[in-house]
Amino acid sequence: MAVTTLRRLRLRTAVRSLCPHSTFSSPTTDRLLSIRPHRPFLSPSLGQCAFYSRRLHPRSDRDKVSSPTIPERLPFSKITQEDLAFFRKILPGRTITDPDVLEANNVDWLKSVRGFSEVLLRPQTTEEVSQILRYCHSRNLAVNPQGGNTGLVGGSVPVYDELILSTALMNNVLSFDSVSGILTCQAGCILENLSLYLEERDYIMPLDLGAKGSCHIGGNVATNAGGLRLLRYGSLRGTVLGLEVVLADGRVLECLASLRKDNTGYDLKQLFIGSEGTLGVITAVSILCPRKPKVVNVAFLGCETFEQLLQTFQLCRGMLGEILSAFEFLDSECMRLLNTYLKLPNPITDSPFYIVIETAGSNLTHDEEKLHTFLEEAMTSSLITDGTVATEDTKIKALWSMRERVTEALTHDGFTYKYDISLPVEQIYQLVTDMREHLRGKAKSVVGYGHVGDGNLHLNITSSAKDPTLLAAIEPFVYEWTAGCQGSISAEHGLGLKKRNYIYYSKPRQAVELMGNIKAMLDPKGILNPYKTLPDNLN
Ligand code: FAD
Ligand code: 2HG
Ligand code: ZN
């Protein structure tokens, strides 16, 4: 029986290489721009209902959050004609005030929050960013740094009338060393463009994510984005070697070292990685890139239980070892949404869980043999029930779409409540099961997917429209559950506007206070991305 099933696996591989997945759409560079969901915008006051409609009940010191509401507009200056004249002088043709153009910059990717900025600044150089911030600092004007605006926690758009400082025109590669693999580029380079640039030179970016067609490397660093390759290449905290950052008062902090090792004092760049635009504007990044693997295989597998999925992960780590580059999962609810809204057919038989395994190595025979031995073992032990393997680029992309496009499919299902949770890996799906039971049909869909290899669950819950009653049932349940397992309430997306008041579920008060001290030291007037990341009382 196991042999038959395995033969089917092999057969599927062969069939895939003969007939392309014509029904799959392959990713394009502008895909993200064309899939913006169409749902009504929320004003900040309405947004309040969405994200802050209830107070948390303090149970311990950690839980004593300040008022979970959007704070009043802080006393920043309002932009004047003189201010505009200054910006137009330093950024001729790149100081945008046309409300139609500004619309896309005022609304987040999820169309869940919107700001009311009247000015978009598009600098091209670090010197221009420095001039902008020096001026804003002296005038007490608030600034919202923005990259590709694909952030999922409401951090990328203004809350009120903060000026939007976009890195869209800061998109040059500054240098690439083909011996060390160190790339230095401006912050506004689109991740996918960098990947293409590197692939031509036999290298790849150490990170990859579904938003690659729009997100900027500066935005990735500012959110410390994880993504699909973290299992293999680690976090940006390890691969980013240097940063150039413009501080709130316009000073340029040049920490753009391109060294693998550098223990001279505090590692200041780490402060800016994951700081979500609240401590400085990242203007350039130096990053260590891995060699492009010669052979890539992707397996899409079906599994009956999450327990078996975890056992498959264990087996996979042991048997694939150094060639394993990703281990991702989605549940059958995700598959239903992919089928329904994106018309992506299931490439294998229906299963409660699906796994995407990627191997990346240098020897075709060695890698394929390893993968097939692993698959044979997984099938013989009945850990997986069905599967298909892709070896060609277009088919690999098609299989990856099944995982990467879940976020997009969800936007068609209704209003989405998103949770990005880090947990001990053996507990990650229990939260989905418990949440389903807890909500007892109150939600339209409750789906689980994510980065198993990193212990990172994406729990997404939809309803046909924004639903405060549903929200009240989800929160603080989800945060208490997570804190109960010593998990993190934000594994990789950051806190932004939406999650900042829940920080105490994952960080002790003392640590949050220290964060406030650092913010006050680097940005004493609080002009950089106000109302984000830190809780209300520290903003
Ligand atoms: P933006 O959204 O523009 O900004 C995000 C934050 O960074 C904001 O707070 C902003 O102020 C700040 N910022 C941006 N640029 C700078 C800068 N130069 N200097 C200082 N601050 C700056 N995230 C993951 O971790 N893993 C995933 O797998 C993943 N997949 C995604 C898939 C989809 C379809 C989408 C829509 C999002 C996904 N994300 C994922 C969310 C992720 O945070 C972003 O996609 C990405 O890292 C943000 O980059 P951006 O350029 O769009 O930044
Ligand atoms: C992913 O891993 C992203 O696909 C997005 O981090 C997750 O939309 C989400 O919740
Ligand atoms: Zn993710």
Q: What is the mean pLDDT of residues 63-88?
A: 79
- The sign of the dihedral angle between the CA atoms of 510, 511, 516, 520 is positive
Phi, psi for residue 34 in degrees, rounded to 5: -90, 0
Cβ–ligand 2 distance for 418 under 6 Å, the answer: yes
Tens of pLDDT along 261-320? 999 999 999 999 999 999 999 999 999 999 999 999 999 999 999 999 999 999 999 999
Q: What is the mean pLDDT of residues 29-41?
A: 25
Name residue 447's beta-bridge partners. 460
H or E element, residue 372 = helix 364-380
Q: State which ligand 1 atom lies nearest to the alpha carbon of 210.
A: 32
421-473, pLDDT tens digit by residue? 999 999 999 999 999 999 998 999 999 999 999 999 999 999 999 999 999 99
CA–centroid distance, 159 to ligand 2, in Å, is 23
Residue 54: the pLDDT is: 26
From the CB of 227, is ligand 1 less than 6 Å away?
A: yes
DSSP 135-191: HHHHHT--EEEESSS--SSS-SS-SSSPEEEE-TT---EEEEETTTTEEEEETT-BH
Distance, CA of 12 to chain centre: 32
pLDDT of residue 16: 30
- C-alpha 81 to ligand 3 mean position (Å): 42
> Burial of 266 by CB count in 10 Å (0-12 exposed, 13-18 middle, 19+ buried)?
exposed
pLDDT at 428: 95
Banded model confidence at residue 505, pLDDT cuts 50, 70, 90: very high
CB neighbour burial string for 465-491, b if at least 16 within 10 angstroms, e if fewer: ebbeebbebbbbebbebbbebebbbbb
User: Ligand 3 centre from 477 Cα, in Å?
Assistant: 21
pLDDT at 217: 99
In this prediction, residue 303 carries a pLDDT of 98
Q: For ligand 1, atom 4, which residue shows the shortest CA distance?
A: 156
Q: What angle do CA 395, 401, 403 make, to 5 degrees?
A: 125
Closest alpha carbon to 282 in 207, 185, 141 = 185
**Of the candidates 15, 20, 24, 521, the residue with the CA atom closest to the CA atom of residue 278:** 521
Residue 14: per-residue pLDDT: 32
- Of 53-57, 325-329, 384-388, the range with the lowest mean pLDDT is 53-57
Q: Please give the angle made by the CA atoms of 262, 265 and 267, to the nearest 5 degrees.
A: 65
Given this model, what pLDDT does residue 18 score?
25
Identify the nearest ligand to the CA of 523 by its number: 1
Kindly state the tokens that stand for 371: 């993968």
The answer to whether the beta carbons of residues 219 and 150 sit under 8 Å apart is yes
Mean pLDDT of 19-36: 26
Residue 488 confidence (pLDDT) above 80: yes
Helix (H) or strand (E) holding 450: strand 445-451
Q: Which atom of ligand 1 is nearest to the CA of 151?
A: 2
- Could you tell me which of 255, 250, 289 has the C-alpha nearest to residue 272? 255
- pLDDT tens track for 392-416: 999 999 999 999 999 999 999 999 9
CA–centroid distance, residue 89 to ligand 3 (Å): 41
pLDDT at 8: 41
Does residue 450 line the site of ligand 1, with CB under 6 A?
no
Give the residue from 291, 254, 289 showing the smallest Cα distance to 182. 289
Domains and CATH numbers, the chain: 2-35+293-405 (3.30.70.2190), 81-166 (3.30.43.10), 173-288 (3.30.465.10), 407-538 (3.30.70.2740)
Token couple for 503 = 């920080």
Q: Looking at residue 258, what is its pLDDT?
A: 84
Q: What is the pLDDT of residue 24?
A: 23
CA distance 411 to 462: 9
pLDDT above 80 for 43:
no
Express each pLDDT in 195-232 by its tens digit: 999 999 999 999 999 999 999 999 999 999 999 999 99
Query: Average per-residue pLDDT in the chain?
Result: 89
pTM value?
0.90
Per-residue confidence (pLDDT) for residue 436, from 0 to 100? 98
Give pLDDT tens digits for 122-172: 999 999 999 999 999 999 999 999 999 999 999 999 999 999 999 999 999
Percentage of the chain exceeding pLDDT 90: 85
CB 485 within 8 A of CB 498: no
Q: Can you give the pLDDT at residue 69?
A: 55
Is 22's pLDDT higher than 70? no
Q: Is the CB of 146 within 6 Å of ligand 1?
A: yes
